[in-house]
Amino acid sequence: MTDAVVYVVDDDRSILASLESLLSSEGYEVRAYESPRDFLNARCPDLPGCLILDVRLRGASGLEFQRELARAGIATPIVFITGHGDVPMSVTAMKSGAVEFLLKPFRDQDLLDAVREGIARDRRRRARDAEISSLRRRQAALTPRERELMPLIASGLMNKQIAAQLQLSEATVKVHRSQIMQKLQARTLADLVRIADQLAATGPGE
Amino acid sequence: MVSSSEEQAETSFRVTRPQLALAGGLSLALVALFVATMPFARLPTQNTEILVPAYAAATFVLEAMTAALLFALYSARRSLPLLFLASGYLFGALMLAPWALTFPGVFTGFDINAGLQVTAAFGLLRRLAFPLFVLAFALAPRREITTSAALVAVCVCVGATVLIEVTLYFRDALPPLMRDGRQVNLLWQVVPALAMALYAVDIVLLLWFRRSALSLWVCIVLFSLGIELLLISYLGGGTRLSVGWWAGRLYGLVAMSIILLVLIAQTTLVHIRLARTVAAELRSREKRLTAMEALSASIAHEINQPLASMVTNADAALRWLSKAEPRIDKAELALRRIVEDGHRANGVVAGIRTMFTKGTRERAELDLAAIVARAAGEASRDARHYGVEIVVEGEREVPPVIGNAVQLHHVLRNLIENAVDAVRAAPLRARRVTVRLSQEPHGEVHVGVADTGAGIASEVAERLFDPFVTTKPGGMGMGLMFCRAVVEAHGGSIWASANTPHGAIFHFSLPVAILSVADAQARSGVEEKAR
């Protein structure tokens, strides 16, 4: 399981050490930090990960740090641990996308389950991100004319209809279509529709 | 010595200067009126009987209201003298009714003819009873009693009724006070003289025994009653419905209403003040409760941390051991951490105990410099977080003090953490906390913790070391109270002063150990043997 990293931020050294031991006994690579600042300053490997965060930290609270991370675009899933949790706090944390909110002392299995879930989430997110960025790369290879044609093809229009709409010859449209299919690595029209949807869902490429 | 309840009465019934000026001014005006009426005092008036019921009603209302007010005051204070005064007013009010009803030529339509002497007899009762009640007010012990005001009021009513009935029953046997419907006999002259004498005695006693404001107001009442009598009985020649007679009555009425107004105003003020005090008390109690909640939450957190760590360490150890190839080394590390956590939890509990139990026995000879260094070292880990530097200055070696190391360590941690918080909250200046240790000439070791924060506001400066006084947003106000308790238990003192140019310095000094602990123990052993 060395392809995932668990980050732990807790200002209590003893708890930090115990978590490090528990997680490494399960084969995780563990990075432990005493403060959010240390975590931010550290260079994180480009691997799926999960962040275990204490709610009560000196300086900023863990919940504030969660917002700060979100603003900074760091999407590592967060498992909150707290010594004195209350309902509104956990609601805030969960609404902001926390994986789990655990009360200290917690059962080790609960924590490990949460970490597994967090890493799985991060892995899915990374896969999705990778796919999107690969799609973007492919999309970038399209010529302006092809980009213009792509939504029309994806909307299911026949070559003839497109040719009429854009006042092109049907043969030209056909050539463009095969070029687009090839560049986007779409084997079927269904593939192309899916790709177009994904690109549209993540907004215009840069 | 003035009792505390009396002091209370004093403060709640204070006679203010404007009030005195008003009373004095009005008295002068009335005296002027009195002087103006003198030449005409003996002139009889015609057909003014019709005004008698109006006068009686007004006086009745005033006296009854005063009585009610005094009974209410009694219910609040439960003081015996007040009960006599209230009863006096009530009795006076009750006697007015038969006096007016039997007044010759007033209620002619009802065909009441009680006899010539009855009205005068009621007047006599009224005149003499009031100063007697006041006499009781002046002489009664200032004891707190629990008798219900309503019960006393009912008793006074019953007593007055019985007295009226008896007077009416024996109306033919009454002494000849009146010559006719208007003129008094020589015998009547005894009554005002006696009443005036009683007034004088009352005034002297009141001024002598009581210095409360209420007594002063009663004196003014008696004085005005005296002038009233003077007008009615002497200047008016004792002739009913003469100009002097009426002037006296009106004089009494005006004086009475002024006093009632003053009483009402005072009572209202007292109630406003009382309401404010109660509200303030409630607020502070709520604050204290919140503080206690915060304190228990903080204690719970302190204990929960090592507990959580222990559970997780134990879980980790179990997992290391249950592996296909058990990792004894890792398990051992986790178990060692559990031991540490156990000690830590125990330390928290011990810390709470030292915080809340007085005079812990464990005393030893201590090197304060070492304690300062340790506390500063521990605190600087957190302080560095906020870019605050902790500097230890001054003498490295000071004579030993005798004390409890844990408690003194707590004190230093408290003071240093406060200083760090103060620096953190302040705008960017030199972010530094300086701990200075020095030996003082008079056998004392002095520690000063100086910060560059915002300093101490003068309104909290005096109460800084009281429990639940805090300047921090999330503070509980327990820290400095604890510090003072510890330092004073060590025979030292703690205080705060301003730092220049910014911030505050918290100082404490402890007496230097004269004998080493070994010496002290040897000595106490010798003393025990000597016994």
Query: Model confidence over B27-74: pLDDT tens digits?
Result: 777 778 777 877 887 888 888 888 888 999 999 999 999 999 889 888
Rounded to 5 degrees, what are φ and ψ at B450?
A: -110, 135
- Cα–Cα distance measured from residue A145 to residue A161, given in angstroms and rounded to the nearest whole number: 16
User: Closest chain B residue to A19 measured between Cα atoms?
Assistant: B312
| Contact A105/B at CB under 8 A | yes
* Type of residue numbered B298: S
Residues of B in contact with A52 (CB under 8 A): none
Mean pLDDT value of segment B247-251: 84
Question: From the CA of B450, how many Å to the nearest CA of chain A?
Answer: 22
Residue A205, token pair as written in the block: 């490429």
Q: What global pTM score does this model have?
A: 0.46
- Tell me the H-state helices in chain A: 13-25, 36-41, 62-71, 87-95, 108-140, 144-154, 159-166, 170-183, 189-201
Alpha-carbon span A40 to A93, nearest angstrom: 20
Q: How much is the pLDDT for B429?
A: 66
**Which residues, in sequence order, are CB contacts of B389 under 8 Å at separation 6+?**
B380, B383, B431, B432, B433
> B227: pLDDT confidence band, cut at 50, 70 and 90?
confident
Beta strand B364-366 pairing with B401-403: antiparallel
The answer to whether residue A40 neighbours chain B at the CB level (below 8 Å) is no
The reply to whether residue B385 touches residue A35, judged by beta carbons under 8 angstroms, is yes
Tell me the one-letter amino acid at A163: A
How far off is chain A from B480, nearest CA to CA, in Å? 21
**B310 and A12 in contact by Cβ < 8 A?**
no
Measure CB to CB from residue B309 to each of A18, A26, A58 and give the nearest one. A18
- Please tell me if residue A110 touches chain B, with a CB cutoff of 8 Å: no
Cβ count near A43 (within 10 Å) = 5
Cα–Cα distance for residue pair B469/B442, rounded to 1 Å? 32
Q: What is the mean pLDDT of residues B76-83?
A: 85
What is the rounded distance in angstroms from the CA atom of residue A104 to the CA atom of residue A85?
A: 9
A22 and B319 within 8 Å at the Cβ level: the answer is yes
Mean pLDDT for chain B overall:
80
- In this complex, is the C-beta atom of B341 within 8 Å of any C-beta atom belonging to chain A? yes
The verdict on a CB contact (< 8 Å) between A12 and B309 is yes
A13 to chain B, any CB pair closer than 8 A? The answer is: no
Q: Answer whether A196's CB lies under 8 Å from A151's CB.
A: yes
HSE toward the beta carbon, residue B119, CA cutoff 13 A: 23
pLDDT exceeds 70 at position B10: no
The number of C-alpha atoms within 13 Å of A131 and in the hemisphere containing its C-beta is 14
Cβ of residue A35 closer than 8 Å to a chain B Cβ? yes
Residue B349 to residue B304: CA distance in whole angstroms: 11
Give dist(CA B431, CA B453) in Å, integer. Answer: 8
**Which range, B326-330, B400-404, B477-481, has the best average confidence (pLDDT)?**
B326-330
CB pair distance less than 8 Å for A25 and B319: yes
Per-residue pLDDT of B288-332, as tens digits, reads 666 566 667 667 777 888 899 999 999 999 999 999 999 999 999
Q: How confident is the model at residue B216 (pLDDT cuts 50, 70, 90)?
A: confident
Q: Which residues of B touch A59 (CB under 8 A)?
A: 385-386
* pLDDT band with cut points at 50, 70 and 90 for residue B87: very high
Cβ pair B414, B420 in contact under 8 A: no
In chain A, residues with a C-beta closer than 8 Å to the C-beta of B301 are 56, 83-84
The predicted structure's pLDDT at residue B528 = 45
Distance CA B218, CA B480 (A): 51
Q: Does A113 touch chain B (CB under 8 A)?
A: no
In chain B, residues with a C-beta closer than 8 Å to the C-beta of A19 are: 312
The confidence score (pLDDT) of residue B523 equals 46
Q: Is ipTM > 0.90 here? A: no
Residues of B in Cβ contact (< 8 Å) with A35: 385
Tell me if B377 sits within 8 A of B420, measured CB to CB: no
Taking contacts as CB-CB distances below 8 angstroms, the residues of chain A near B306 are 14
Kindly tell me if the per-residue pLDDT of B480 is higher than 80.
no
CA A144 remoteness from chain centre? 30
Sorting pLDDT into bands at 50, 70 and 90, what band is B211? low
More confident residue, B482 or B148: B148
Q: What are phi and psi of B16, to 5 degrees?
A: -85, 160
Count of A-B CB contacts under 8 Å: 83
- From first to last of its 206 residues, what are the pLDDT tens digits of chain A? 458 899 999 878 889 999 999 999 999 999 999 888 888 888 878 889 999 998 877 656 778 888 888 888 888 999 998 876 566 777 777 777 889 888 888 999 999 999 999 999 999 999 988 988 888 888 888 888 888 888 888 888 888 898 888 888 889 999 999 999 888 888 888 888 888 888 887 765 44
| Res. B476 pLDDT band, cuts 50 70 90 | very low
Chain B residues lying within 8 Å of A81, measured CB to CB: 308
Judge whether residue B363 has pLDDT over 60.
Answer: yes
More confident residue, B475 or B273: B273
**Residue B271 contacts A where some CB pair is shorter than 8 Å:** no
Least confident residue range of A79-93, B106-120, B243-257, B506-520: B506-520
